[in-house]
Amino acid sequence: MKKGAKEFLSVAAAALAVLLFTAAIVLGANAAMERFLKGELEAVMAAVEMPPADYEDEFLQLVRKLEQQEAFYQRYKTRESYHYYGQYYELYNNVYNADVWFIGTSHAAHGVNPLYIEQANPGYSFFNFALNGSNPGFYEDWWEIVLEAGYPMPKAIIWCVDWFMCDDGWLWRRIDFDTAPNMPIDIMRRMKKSQEAKKADEAETKADETETAKEEVEEPAEKIKVTFRWWDLDQSVRELMSYLPIIASRDRIPDMVRSWFKKGESVQPAMLPEGAAEEKEVCVLPTYKHEYLRDNIGNITSDYYKGFIPWDVPFGGDASTISCHDKDIQWRAFERMLDKFEEAGIKVAFIELPEYTGVKRLKMKQNNERIAEIAARRGIPFYDYNTDDPTGIGSDVSNYSDWGHMSKKGSTVFSKFLAEEMKKILASLGV
Protein backbone atom coordinates (compact mmCIF):
# COMPACT_ATOMS: atom_id res chain seq x y z
CA MET A 1 0.00 0.00 0.00
CA LYS A 2 2.83 2.37 0.94
CA LYS A 3 4.69 1.50 -2.24
CA GLY A 4 1.58 2.28 -4.31
CA ALA A 5 1.13 5.61 -2.54
CA LYS A 6 4.75 6.54 -3.18
CA GLU A 7 4.37 5.70 -6.87
CA PHE A 8 1.20 7.77 -7.05
CA LEU A 9 2.88 10.75 -5.39
CA SER A 10 5.85 10.41 -7.70
CA VAL A 11 3.64 10.42 -10.78
CA ALA A 12 1.60 13.34 -9.42
CA ALA A 13 4.76 15.33 -8.69
CA ALA A 14 6.07 14.66 -12.19
CA ALA A 15 2.74 15.69 -13.72
CA LEU A 16 2.71 18.88 -11.65
CA ALA A 17 6.25 19.68 -12.72
CA VAL A 18 5.27 19.21 -16.37
CA LEU A 19 2.22 21.44 -15.90
CA LEU A 20 4.29 24.16 -14.22
CA PHE A 21 6.95 23.97 -16.91
CA THR A 22 4.27 24.16 -19.64
CA ALA A 23 2.55 27.07 -17.88
CA ALA A 24 5.87 28.93 -17.65
CA ILE A 25 6.44 28.48 -21.38
CA VAL A 26 2.91 29.60 -22.28
CA LEU A 27 2.99 32.62 -19.96
CA GLY A 28 6.45 33.59 -21.19
CA ALA A 29 5.34 33.33 -24.80
CA ASN A 30 2.19 35.27 -23.94
CA ALA A 31 4.24 38.09 -22.39
CA ALA A 32 6.40 38.19 -25.52
CA MET A 33 3.31 38.44 -27.72
CA GLU A 34 1.90 41.21 -25.50
CA ARG A 35 5.14 43.20 -25.92
CA PHE A 36 5.18 42.60 -29.67
CA LEU A 37 1.60 43.75 -30.20
CA LYS A 38 2.06 46.80 -27.95
CA GLY A 39 5.25 47.81 -29.76
CA GLU A 40 3.57 47.35 -33.12
CA LEU A 41 0.65 49.56 -32.09
CA GLU A 42 2.93 52.30 -30.76
CA ALA A 43 5.10 52.25 -33.91
CA VAL A 44 2.12 52.71 -36.22
CA MET A 45 0.64 55.49 -34.09
CA ALA A 46 3.97 57.31 -33.84
CA ALA A 47 4.50 57.21 -37.59
CA VAL A 48 1.14 58.71 -38.53
CA GLU A 49 1.53 61.43 -35.89
CA MET A 50 4.86 62.65 -37.29
CA PRO A 51 4.69 66.31 -38.35
CA PRO A 52 4.68 66.89 -42.12
CA ALA A 53 7.58 68.60 -43.82
CA ASP A 54 5.64 71.60 -45.07
CA TYR A 55 2.25 72.21 -43.45
CA GLU A 56 -0.39 70.89 -41.13
CA ASP A 57 -4.12 70.79 -41.80
CA GLU A 58 -7.24 68.80 -41.09
CA PHE A 59 -7.17 67.00 -44.43
CA LEU A 60 -3.71 65.63 -43.73
CA GLN A 61 -4.90 64.34 -40.37
CA LEU A 62 -7.63 62.36 -42.14
CA VAL A 63 -5.08 60.90 -44.55
CA ARG A 64 -2.96 59.83 -41.59
CA LYS A 65 -5.91 58.06 -39.99
CA LEU A 66 -6.38 56.07 -43.18
CA GLU A 67 -2.67 55.25 -43.29
CA GLN A 68 -3.00 53.95 -39.74
CA GLN A 69 -5.90 51.73 -40.75
CA GLU A 70 -4.02 50.32 -43.72
CA ALA A 71 -0.90 49.71 -41.64
CA PHE A 72 -2.89 47.48 -39.29
CA TYR A 73 -4.89 45.80 -42.03
CA GLN A 74 -1.76 44.67 -43.85
CA ARG A 75 -0.61 42.88 -40.72
CA TYR A 76 -3.83 40.87 -40.56
CA LYS A 77 -4.70 40.46 -44.23
CA THR A 78 -4.43 36.68 -44.03
CA ARG A 79 -7.22 36.50 -41.45
CA GLU A 80 -10.52 35.44 -42.95
CA SER A 81 -13.02 38.29 -43.38
CA TYR A 82 -10.85 40.75 -41.50
CA HIS A 83 -12.31 43.57 -43.58
CA TYR A 84 -14.82 44.26 -40.80
CA TYR A 85 -11.90 45.80 -38.89
CA GLY A 86 -12.63 48.89 -41.02
CA GLN A 87 -16.10 49.28 -39.51
CA TYR A 88 -14.74 49.44 -35.96
CA TYR A 89 -11.85 51.66 -37.01
CA GLU A 90 -14.32 54.21 -38.34
CA LEU A 91 -16.31 54.11 -35.09
CA TYR A 92 -13.27 54.86 -32.95
CA ASN A 93 -11.38 57.23 -35.28
CA ASN A 94 -14.18 58.98 -37.16
CA VAL A 95 -12.50 59.49 -40.52
CA TYR A 96 -15.66 60.24 -42.49
CA ASN A 97 -18.11 61.59 -39.88
CA ALA A 98 -20.95 59.70 -41.56
CA ASP A 99 -24.42 61.10 -40.93
CA VAL A 100 -26.27 58.28 -42.71
CA TRP A 101 -25.46 54.70 -41.68
CA PHE A 102 -26.35 51.36 -43.23
CA ILE A 103 -26.57 48.41 -40.84
CA GLY A 104 -27.58 44.81 -41.43
CA THR A 105 -26.20 41.38 -42.23
CA SER A 106 -23.64 40.22 -44.77
CA HIS A 107 -26.26 40.75 -47.50
CA ALA A 108 -25.86 44.47 -46.86
CA ALA A 109 -22.10 44.34 -46.22
CA HIS A 110 -21.60 42.86 -49.69
CA GLY A 111 -24.54 44.58 -51.38
CA VAL A 112 -24.57 48.31 -50.54
CA ASN A 113 -21.68 50.37 -51.91
CA PRO A 114 -21.63 53.93 -50.49
CA LEU A 115 -19.48 55.06 -53.43
CA TYR A 116 -22.44 55.29 -55.82
CA ILE A 117 -24.86 56.49 -53.16
CA GLU A 118 -22.72 59.46 -52.13
CA GLN A 119 -22.20 60.45 -55.75
CA ALA A 120 -25.95 60.89 -56.17
CA ASN A 121 -26.46 62.44 -52.72
CA PRO A 122 -23.55 64.86 -52.17
CA GLY A 123 -25.13 66.56 -49.17
CA TYR A 124 -24.61 63.51 -46.94
CA SER A 125 -21.76 61.31 -45.73
CA PHE A 126 -22.50 57.56 -45.85
CA PHE A 127 -20.89 54.53 -44.22
CA ASN A 128 -21.82 50.85 -44.37
CA PHE A 129 -21.61 49.44 -40.82
CA ALA A 130 -23.20 46.09 -41.73
CA LEU A 131 -21.38 43.05 -40.38
CA ASN A 132 -21.46 39.39 -41.37
CA GLY A 133 -23.79 37.25 -39.27
CA SER A 134 -25.28 40.13 -37.29
CA ASN A 135 -28.69 39.72 -35.67
CA PRO A 136 -30.71 42.29 -33.64
CA GLY A 137 -29.29 40.98 -30.37
CA PHE A 138 -25.77 41.53 -31.64
CA TYR A 139 -26.67 45.11 -32.55
CA GLU A 140 -27.69 45.77 -28.95
CA ASP A 141 -24.10 45.06 -27.86
CA TRP A 142 -22.75 46.85 -30.94
CA TRP A 143 -24.68 49.97 -29.92
CA GLU A 144 -22.79 50.02 -26.62
CA ILE A 145 -19.56 49.98 -28.65
CA VAL A 146 -20.84 52.95 -30.67
CA LEU A 147 -21.45 54.88 -27.44
CA GLU A 148 -18.09 53.81 -26.03
CA ALA A 149 -16.29 54.98 -29.17
CA GLY A 150 -18.00 58.37 -29.04
CA TYR A 151 -18.93 58.48 -32.72
CA PRO A 152 -21.31 61.37 -33.52
CA MET A 153 -24.94 60.32 -33.76
CA PRO A 154 -26.19 60.05 -37.36
CA LYS A 155 -29.15 61.83 -38.89
CA ALA A 156 -30.51 58.54 -40.20
CA ILE A 157 -29.94 54.79 -40.02
CA ILE A 158 -30.97 52.62 -42.95
CA TRP A 159 -31.52 49.15 -41.49
CA CYS A 160 -31.13 46.60 -44.26
CA VAL A 161 -33.56 44.09 -42.80
CA ASP A 162 -33.78 40.43 -43.81
CA TRP A 163 -36.75 38.10 -43.44
CA PHE A 164 -34.46 35.60 -41.65
CA MET A 165 -32.69 38.14 -39.41
CA CYS A 166 -34.17 36.75 -36.15
CA ASP A 167 -32.69 33.29 -36.62
CA ASP A 168 -29.67 33.54 -34.31
CA GLY A 169 -28.48 30.08 -35.25
CA TRP A 170 -28.13 31.20 -38.84
CA LEU A 171 -26.88 34.67 -37.88
CA TRP A 172 -24.10 33.72 -35.52
CA ARG A 173 -22.25 36.91 -34.63
CA ARG A 174 -21.56 37.81 -30.99
CA ILE A 175 -19.73 40.87 -29.74
CA ASP A 176 -17.11 38.76 -27.94
CA PHE A 177 -15.82 37.63 -31.33
CA ASP A 178 -14.70 41.23 -31.87
CA THR A 179 -13.56 42.03 -28.33
CA ALA A 180 -11.18 39.05 -28.04
CA PRO A 181 -7.45 39.86 -27.67
CA ASN A 182 -6.02 41.51 -30.78
CA MET A 183 -9.34 41.51 -32.58
CA PRO A 184 -10.73 44.81 -33.93
CA ILE A 185 -12.42 46.22 -30.83
CA ASP A 186 -9.50 45.19 -28.63
CA ILE A 187 -7.08 46.95 -30.99
CA MET A 188 -9.24 50.05 -31.00
CA ARG A 189 -9.44 50.07 -27.20
CA ARG A 190 -5.66 49.76 -26.88
CA MET A 191 -5.25 52.59 -29.37
CA LYS A 192 -7.71 54.78 -27.47
CA LYS A 193 -6.01 53.99 -24.16
CA SER A 194 -2.65 54.98 -25.64
CA GLN A 195 -4.09 58.23 -26.98
CA GLU A 196 -5.61 59.06 -23.59
CA ALA A 197 -2.30 58.33 -21.85
CA LYS A 198 -0.57 60.69 -24.25
CA LYS A 199 -3.11 63.41 -23.44
CA ALA A 200 -2.49 62.87 -19.74
CA ASP A 201 1.28 63.18 -20.23
CA GLU A 202 0.85 66.40 -22.19
CA ALA A 203 -1.42 67.79 -19.47
CA GLU A 204 1.20 67.07 -16.83
CA THR A 205 3.73 69.28 -18.61
CA LYS A 206 1.59 72.34 -17.87
CA ALA A 207 2.67 73.09 -14.32
CA ASP A 208 -0.06 75.57 -13.50
CA GLU A 209 -2.83 73.38 -14.93
CA THR A 210 -1.61 69.93 -14.02
CA GLU A 211 -4.23 68.87 -11.49
CA THR A 212 -7.11 70.34 -13.46
CA ALA A 213 -5.93 68.78 -16.69
CA LYS A 214 -5.66 65.37 -15.05
CA GLU A 215 -9.28 65.56 -13.96
CA GLU A 216 -10.40 66.52 -17.45
CA VAL A 217 -8.73 63.56 -19.16
CA GLU A 218 -11.56 61.28 -20.18
CA GLU A 219 -11.53 57.86 -18.57
CA PRO A 220 -11.78 54.87 -20.89
CA ALA A 221 -15.38 53.74 -21.32
CA GLU A 222 -16.42 50.61 -19.51
CA LYS A 223 -15.96 47.52 -21.60
CA ILE A 224 -18.80 45.29 -22.66
CA LYS A 225 -19.25 42.58 -20.05
CA VAL A 226 -19.88 39.10 -21.40
CA THR A 227 -21.75 36.82 -19.01
CA PHE A 228 -19.70 33.66 -18.61
CA ARG A 229 -21.67 30.43 -18.40
CA TRP A 230 -19.32 27.64 -17.32
CA TRP A 231 -21.82 24.97 -18.40
CA ASP A 232 -21.77 26.29 -21.98
CA LEU A 233 -19.01 24.17 -23.54
CA ASP A 234 -18.91 26.26 -26.71
CA GLN A 235 -18.42 29.49 -24.77
CA SER A 236 -15.92 27.88 -22.37
CA VAL A 237 -13.69 26.73 -25.23
CA ARG A 238 -14.05 30.08 -26.98
CA GLU A 239 -13.11 31.99 -23.82
CA LEU A 240 -10.12 29.72 -23.23
CA MET A 241 -8.90 30.15 -26.83
CA SER A 242 -9.31 33.93 -26.81
CA TYR A 243 -8.12 34.85 -23.31
CA LEU A 244 -4.39 34.74 -24.02
CA PRO A 245 -2.98 36.77 -26.94
CA ILE A 246 -0.44 34.03 -27.69
CA ILE A 247 -3.40 31.75 -28.48
CA ALA A 248 -5.81 34.30 -29.95
CA SER A 249 -3.03 35.81 -32.11
CA ARG A 250 -1.18 32.60 -32.89
CA ASP A 251 -1.21 33.53 -36.60
CA ARG A 252 1.10 36.43 -35.68
CA ILE A 253 3.77 34.23 -34.07
CA PRO A 254 5.95 34.17 -37.25
CA ASP A 255 5.81 37.98 -37.38
CA MET A 256 6.77 38.19 -33.71
CA VAL A 257 9.75 35.87 -34.19
CA ARG A 258 10.92 37.78 -37.27
CA SER A 259 10.75 41.02 -35.28
CA TRP A 260 13.42 39.69 -32.93
CA PHE A 261 15.96 39.51 -35.74
CA LYS A 262 15.24 42.64 -37.73
CA LYS A 263 13.92 46.12 -37.23
CA GLY A 264 10.23 46.51 -37.87
CA GLU A 265 9.08 48.38 -40.93
CA SER A 266 8.00 51.93 -40.21
CA VAL A 267 4.97 53.69 -41.58
CA GLN A 268 5.90 56.88 -43.37
CA PRO A 269 3.96 60.06 -42.59
CA ALA A 270 1.39 61.28 -45.07
CA MET A 271 2.51 63.68 -47.77
CA LEU A 272 0.03 65.34 -50.09
CA PRO A 273 0.77 66.02 -53.76
CA GLU A 274 2.33 69.38 -54.59
CA GLY A 275 -0.29 72.11 -54.70
CA ALA A 276 -2.81 70.08 -52.70
CA ALA A 277 -2.72 72.59 -49.85
CA GLU A 278 -4.17 75.23 -52.10
CA GLU A 279 -6.60 72.91 -53.86
CA LYS A 280 -7.97 70.67 -51.12
CA GLU A 281 -11.42 70.81 -52.63
CA VAL A 282 -10.25 68.64 -55.56
CA CYS A 283 -8.57 66.08 -53.28
CA VAL A 284 -10.51 62.90 -52.56
CA LEU A 285 -9.77 61.04 -49.35
CA PRO A 286 -8.12 57.77 -50.33
CA THR A 287 -9.39 54.44 -49.15
CA TYR A 288 -6.78 51.89 -48.30
CA LYS A 289 -5.41 49.57 -50.97
CA HIS A 290 -4.66 46.00 -49.99
CA GLU A 291 -1.73 43.95 -51.12
CA TYR A 292 -3.94 41.10 -52.31
CA LEU A 293 -6.98 41.48 -54.51
CA ARG A 294 -8.92 38.72 -52.73
CA ASP A 295 -8.84 36.98 -49.41
CA ASN A 296 -9.15 33.22 -49.08
CA ILE A 297 -12.96 33.12 -49.24
CA GLY A 298 -13.57 35.44 -52.18
CA ASN A 299 -13.82 38.94 -50.68
CA ILE A 300 -12.33 41.48 -53.10
CA THR A 301 -10.32 43.31 -50.47
CA SER A 302 -8.89 45.92 -52.83
CA ASP A 303 -12.43 47.16 -53.54
CA TYR A 304 -13.29 47.83 -49.89
CA TYR A 305 -14.99 51.20 -49.58
CA LYS A 306 -16.47 52.72 -46.42
CA GLY A 307 -17.53 49.38 -44.98
CA PHE A 308 -18.61 47.77 -48.27
CA ILE A 309 -16.67 44.87 -49.70
CA PRO A 310 -17.68 42.74 -52.72
CA TRP A 311 -17.88 39.01 -52.27
CA ASP A 312 -17.43 37.36 -55.63
CA VAL A 313 -17.44 33.57 -56.12
CA PRO A 314 -18.90 31.40 -58.92
CA PHE A 315 -22.63 30.70 -58.65
CA GLY A 316 -24.58 28.72 -61.20
CA GLY A 317 -28.02 29.01 -59.64
CA ASP A 318 -29.89 27.16 -56.92
CA ALA A 319 -33.35 25.62 -56.64
CA SER A 320 -33.22 24.92 -52.91
CA THR A 321 -35.95 25.47 -50.35
CA ILE A 322 -34.80 27.77 -47.55
CA SER A 323 -36.44 28.57 -44.25
CA CYS A 324 -35.46 30.01 -40.87
CA HIS A 325 -36.09 29.43 -37.17
CA ASP A 326 -37.19 32.74 -35.67
CA LYS A 327 -36.41 33.50 -32.03
CA ASP A 328 -38.76 35.75 -30.09
CA ILE A 329 -35.79 37.07 -28.15
CA GLN A 330 -34.40 38.47 -31.41
CA TRP A 331 -37.69 40.10 -32.41
CA ARG A 332 -37.76 41.76 -29.00
CA ALA A 333 -34.16 42.92 -29.44
CA PHE A 334 -35.15 44.38 -32.81
CA GLU A 335 -37.86 46.47 -31.16
CA ARG A 336 -35.54 47.53 -28.34
CA MET A 337 -32.98 48.78 -30.86
CA LEU A 338 -35.67 50.82 -32.58
CA ASP A 339 -36.53 52.32 -29.19
CA LYS A 340 -32.89 53.28 -28.66
CA PHE A 341 -32.66 54.93 -32.07
CA GLU A 342 -35.84 56.86 -31.35
CA GLU A 343 -34.53 57.99 -27.95
CA ALA A 344 -31.34 59.21 -29.66
CA GLY A 345 -33.40 61.22 -32.16
CA ILE A 346 -32.25 59.13 -35.12
CA LYS A 347 -34.60 58.68 -38.06
CA VAL A 348 -34.86 55.09 -39.34
CA ALA A 349 -35.88 53.49 -42.62
CA PHE A 350 -35.99 49.80 -43.55
CA ILE A 351 -34.90 48.39 -46.88
CA GLU A 352 -34.70 44.76 -47.95
CA LEU A 353 -32.20 43.83 -50.63
CA PRO A 354 -33.18 41.59 -53.56
CA GLU A 355 -32.28 37.90 -53.35
CA TYR A 356 -31.97 35.34 -56.13
CA THR A 357 -35.49 34.29 -57.10
CA GLY A 358 -34.53 30.73 -58.07
CA VAL A 359 -34.81 29.53 -54.48
CA LYS A 360 -38.05 28.89 -52.59
CA ARG A 361 -37.95 31.03 -49.44
CA LEU A 362 -40.33 29.77 -46.79
CA LYS A 363 -41.47 32.34 -44.20
CA MET A 364 -40.27 35.26 -46.33
CA LYS A 365 -43.78 36.60 -46.87
CA GLN A 366 -44.78 35.95 -43.26
CA ASN A 367 -41.74 37.65 -41.75
CA ASN A 368 -41.80 40.56 -44.18
CA GLU A 369 -45.39 41.18 -43.13
CA ARG A 370 -44.26 41.22 -39.51
CA ILE A 371 -41.51 43.74 -40.35
CA ALA A 372 -44.05 45.83 -42.27
CA GLU A 373 -46.39 45.79 -39.25
CA ILE A 374 -43.60 47.00 -36.95
CA ALA A 375 -42.67 49.68 -39.47
CA ALA A 376 -46.26 50.90 -39.82
CA ARG A 377 -46.79 50.97 -36.07
CA ARG A 378 -43.66 53.06 -35.57
CA GLY A 379 -44.01 55.28 -38.63
CA ILE A 380 -40.89 53.84 -40.26
CA PRO A 381 -40.79 53.66 -44.06
CA PHE A 382 -40.15 50.13 -45.39
CA TYR A 383 -38.84 49.67 -48.93
CA ASP A 384 -39.03 45.99 -49.85
CA TYR A 385 -36.86 45.55 -52.94
CA ASN A 386 -36.93 41.78 -52.47
CA THR A 387 -40.60 40.88 -52.83
CA ASP A 388 -41.20 43.09 -55.86
CA ASP A 389 -37.57 43.49 -57.11
CA PRO A 390 -38.08 46.61 -59.26
CA THR A 391 -34.53 46.29 -60.62
CA GLY A 392 -34.93 42.75 -61.96
CA ILE A 393 -31.63 41.84 -60.29
CA GLY A 394 -33.07 38.74 -58.60
CA SER A 395 -33.83 36.88 -61.82
CA ASP A 396 -30.26 37.13 -63.19
CA VAL A 397 -27.96 34.51 -61.66
CA SER A 398 -24.86 36.47 -62.71
CA ASN A 399 -25.76 39.09 -60.10
CA TYR A 400 -25.14 36.66 -57.23
CA SER A 401 -22.42 34.72 -55.44
CA ASP A 402 -25.09 32.58 -53.79
CA TRP A 403 -28.87 32.85 -53.42
CA GLY A 404 -28.68 35.76 -50.97
CA HIS A 405 -25.39 37.61 -51.51
CA MET A 406 -24.96 39.80 -54.54
CA SER A 407 -21.78 39.57 -56.58
CA LYS A 408 -19.69 42.59 -57.48
CA LYS A 409 -21.79 43.02 -60.60
CA GLY A 410 -25.09 42.72 -58.71
CA SER A 411 -24.04 45.03 -55.89
CA THR A 412 -22.98 47.67 -58.41
CA VAL A 413 -26.32 47.52 -60.21
CA PHE A 414 -28.27 47.62 -56.95
CA SER A 415 -26.17 50.39 -55.37
CA LYS A 416 -26.66 52.62 -58.40
CA PHE A 417 -30.40 51.98 -58.18
CA LEU A 418 -30.41 52.65 -54.44
CA ALA A 419 -28.46 55.86 -54.97
CA GLU A 420 -31.49 57.38 -56.68
CA GLU A 421 -33.92 55.79 -54.23
CA MET A 422 -32.02 57.38 -51.34
CA LYS A 423 -33.14 60.82 -52.49
CA LYS A 424 -36.73 59.73 -51.87
CA ILE A 425 -35.90 57.85 -48.66
CA LEU A 426 -33.99 60.73 -47.09
CA ALA A 427 -36.66 63.21 -48.11
CA SER A 428 -39.33 61.03 -46.46
CA LEU A 429 -37.28 61.04 -43.25
CA GLY A 430 -36.91 64.82 -43.36
CA VAL A 431 -33.13 64.80 -42.81
pLDDT digits (tens, 9 = 90+) for 295-319: 888 999 889 999 999 999 999 998 8
What is the per-residue pLDDT for 224? 44
pLDDT digits 0-9 by tens, 195-253: 887 777 777 766 555 555 444 444 444 444 445 455 566 656 656 666 778 887 888 88
Instruction: Convert the pLDDT of each residue in 11-26 to its tens digit.
Output: 788 888 888 888 888 8
3-state secondary structure the chain: CHHHHHHHHHHHHHHHHHHHHHHHHHHHHHHHHHHHHHHHHHHHHHHHCCCCCCCCCHHHHHHHHHHHHHHHHHHCCCCCCHHHHHHHHHHHHCCCCCCEEEEECHHHHCCCCHHHHHHHCCCCCEEECCCCCCCHHHHHHHHHHHHHHCCCCCCEEEEECCCCCCCCCCCCCCHHHHHCCCCHHHHHHHHHHHHHHHHHHHHHCCHHHHHHHHHHCCCCCCCCCCCCCCCCHHHHHHHHHHHCHHHHCHHHHHHHHHHHHCCCCCCCCCCCCCCCCCCHHHCCCCCCCCCCCECCCCEEHHHCECCECCECCCCCCCCCEECCCCCHHHHHHHHHHHHHHHHCCCEEEEEECCCCCCCEECCHHHHHHHHHHHHHHHCCCEEECCCCCCCCHHHCHHHECCCCCECHHHHHHHHHHHHHHHHHHHHHHCC
- For domain 2-175+262-267+283-429, give the CATH superfamily: SGNH hydrolase (3.40.50.1110)
pLDDT at 246: 83
Q: What is the pLDDT of residue 64?
A: 82
| Domain definitions of the chain by residue range | 2-175+262-267+283-429
Low-confidence ranges of the chain (pLDDT < 50): 55, 213-226, 228, 281-282
